[in-house]
Amino acid sequence: MPIYEFYCKKCNTIFNFFSKSVNTDKVPYCPRCKRVKLQRQMSVFSTLSSDRKESDEDMPPIDESKMEKAMEILTREADRIDEEDPRQAATLMRKLTEATGLNLSAGMEEALSRIEKGEDPDKIEEEMGDLLKNEDPFILGVRGKTKSRIPLPQVDETLYEL
């Protein structure tokens, strides 16, 4: 039975719904808010284990159509990147963040800008390595607007029927 993930913007929660058949059209209402229709999310791949840990690195809800657009860009352009020119990789990263609606963190933004100017990526990593390792590279929000963090959504562990 397929399990679908849906996100409620109002209560910032991800809900899981199972269906007895493949059901790509039905969109349920929020189990908490009752009157709010949910948004279908692209599920994050995971592995099941008995040692389940809570993680600060859980993925935020991602708009499926934006993710499909980003994957099309990646598929179309990845083979054409010259591995000897880091600026091409930086340009692709910009296109992908724009397509997904994610913003880069301050450290990633600085590193990417320096790469675009032609600086040596190894030098950038040497100078900024600790900063880049210790910060989340992406920030939710609309490009060009405030870069304040939107809290990660709660995940309702209940499995609802679609």
Examine the pLDDT at 92 and tell me if it is beyond 80.
Answer: yes
Q: Using CA atoms, how far apart are residues 17 and 5, in angstroms rounded to an integer?
A: 6
pLDDT of residue 144: 46
Question: Which of 63, 54, 51, 61 lies closest to 15, judged by CA?
Answer: 61
Domain limits, the chain: 1-43+151-162, 64-100+103-139
User: pLDDT digit string (tens) for 44-72?
Assistant: 554 444 444 444 444 555 667 777 777 88
